[in-house]
Structure 1
Amino acid sequence: MAEHNQLIDAINIRTAVRAYDDEPIDDDAARQLEMALQPVNLLGNLNLQLVLNQPKVFEEANASGHLTGAANYLALVVPKGDEQARERAGFYAERVVLTATLRGLATLWVAGSWNKTEAAKHCRIAGNEELLLGVVIGHPKNHLAYQSMTYDELCERQRTHRSCKTYEQFTVTMGDEARAQAPDWFRAGVEAAMKAPSAMNRQPITFSYNPDDDTAAAHIDTTAGDEHHALNDLGIAKLHFQIGAGQGQWAWGDGGLFIHQ
């Protein structure tokens, strides 16, 4: 696989993968993922956990063909009753997803394609915590062929693997003139967010730019029909935008502002 080691490279090649080889994640890769979890859990006040070799969690989905060979997952364990934690979990778990992508691993965000009760049995969950969502992690099916693909081939695979809302749909509250006048970093941020996964693949996030104070804002699109996972999707989209835009930082929340630095 061609050399690529930046987070924007991971965004450009990441796809949702449903079929996995049965080769286990090696100790070095697992150690790298665990190392990635430590700072994000601290920064996000979260308890994200890597769980390996538990195919029973995906037994029904694997049997039905909805998934193939799924056995490992990133568990999003968050504080109960903390709505903002759902957004933080999306933001920081996606950061780990991109780390896995750079390691040549495949991922898939799951909301219903797993046995959540069984998954919780293999997690450390305190009384004031709950298991929110999961991310399947593993070697993609025929992973040796995947590793032989060039970076350009992987980018093309990402571009064509699913339908995606347009730039205009992601900036629906802006007119053509406002879009034309927005800075390059804003467009780069939106284009990176367009490649972000969402729990139900509905991409329920929009962005806008305010020239008066040179800030961007992220909004939940309530017409997308996925209110239950929208905050998680908001966090994922914000991370992609931040990486695409370059230096800058988000405020949490629906309508939170991004200050470019």
Structure 2
Amino acid sequence: MDLKEAIKNRHSVRQYSDKKIEGEIEKDLHAEIENCSEESGLNIQLCLNEEKAFSNGIFAKISLFKNVKNYIVISGKKSDDLDEKIGYYGERIVLKATQLGLNTCWTASGYKKSKLGVEIGDKEKIFLIIIGYGINNGNSRKTKAIDKLGNVNNDSPHWFINGLKAVQFAPTARNQQRFKFILDGNSVEAKALFGFHTEIDLGIAKYHFEIGADSKEWVWKT
């Protein structure tokens, strides 16, 4: 499965089986986490076979989480681009996990921070990705039309259209997809709009756009 297929096949999953993450799959997952940590400067940790963080919590029940024993904690010290980096590199790990046959779910709640089985630095912001073998593959979610996600017109290049089609599959908080991709010549500006966790959502969407556009004809606007 290539990354474009992973984008289409991946859905949020909240309920998991007892099957363990191990062997080559665990090794490949660790390798991607290490690469993302090194590139981003984020503190990314994988916690396997740990039941306490998501057990018996009222928020876990409200979120419909069941049998969550594996998760990834992404953390970092506050900065202007922290949330976007969490989204971008977290989604990179999510899609790698999808390629490995695993299921995932982004979450900002449903767990007890004091029970997390990882080391968190002082004053670091955290975000979690649940990971494992789901009891199903999840369901498709609502998405916006591409002309609501970018300034599309009849002259828009194919790579821009393809990038926005990949953005349609980007998971976002409450399925809000509150971001905009603006094409200006051969440069693309990605903006987060007002909403809940929109900077993290923007990082996720930017990674999807890069995969979908798959071209050397454009650059991010700086």
- Which of 53, 69, 72 pairs up with 2:70? 72
1:101 matches 2:98: yes
Pairing 1:57-68 to 2, within 5 Å after superposition: 57-59=53-55, 60=57, 61=59, 63=61, 66-68=64-66
Matches of 1:141 and 1:250, distance apart in 2: 40
Whether the aligned pair in 2 keeps the contact of 1:18 and 1:67 (CA below 8 Å) is: yes
Matches of 2:88 and 2:179, distance apart in 1: 13
Quick check: 189-198 or 53-62, which moved more?
53-62
CA change 1:112–1:62 in 2 (3 A) is: closer
Displacement of 1:64 after TM fit?
A: 5.2
Q: Match of 1:220?
A: 192
Matches of 1:62 and 1:23, distance apart in 2: 20
- Which of 41, 46, 54 pairs up with 2:42? 46
Matches of 1:96 and 1:169, distance apart in 2: 27
The number of residue pairs the alignment matches comes to 219
Task: Provide TM-score, normalisation by structure 2.
Answer: 0.90
- SS of the residue 1:207 aligns to: strand
Task: Provide TM-score, normalisation by structure 1.
Answer: 0.77
Q: Match of 1:133, as an amino acid? A: F
| Percent identical | 31
1:232 matches 2:206: no
CA change 1:250–1:125 in 2 (3 A) is: farther
Q: Match of 1:133?
A: 127
Q: Match of 1:168?
A: 147
- SS of the residue 1:163 aligns to: coil
In the TM superposition, what whole-angstrom CA distance separates every residue of 1:68-99 from its partner, at most 9, and x where no partner exists? 211111101112x2121221111011101101
In the TM superposition, what whole-angstrom CA distance separates every residue of 1:151-175 from its partner, at most 9, and x where no partner exists? xxxxxx86xx21111112212xx3x
Matches of 2:181 and 2:62, distance apart in 1: 37
- Unaligned regions of 5+ residues in structure 2, if any? none
1:244 matches 2:212: yes
Q: Match of 2:199, as an amino acid? A: L
In the TM superposition, what whole-angstrom CA distance separates every residue of 1:36-89 from its partner, at most 9, and x where no partner exists? 01111111111111111122211125555711211111101112x212122111
Whether the aligned pair in 2 keeps the contact of 1:62 and 1:69 (CA below 8 Å) is: no
- Unaligned regions of 5+ residues in structure 1, if any? 147-156, 252-256
Matches of 1:250 and 1:53, distance apart in 2: 41
Matches of 1:231 and 1:23, distance apart in 2: 33
Matches of 1:200 and 1:134, distance apart in 2: 16
- SS of the residue 1:55 aligns to: coil
More helix by share: 1
Whether the aligned pair in 1 keeps the contact of 2:186 and 2:219 (CA below 8 Å) is: no
Displacement of 1:21 after TM fit?
A: 0.7
In the TM superposition, what whole-angstrom CA distance separates every residue of 1:196-226 from its partner, at most 9, and x where no partner exists? 111332111111211xx3111111122xx31
Q: Match of 1:191, as an amino acid? A: K
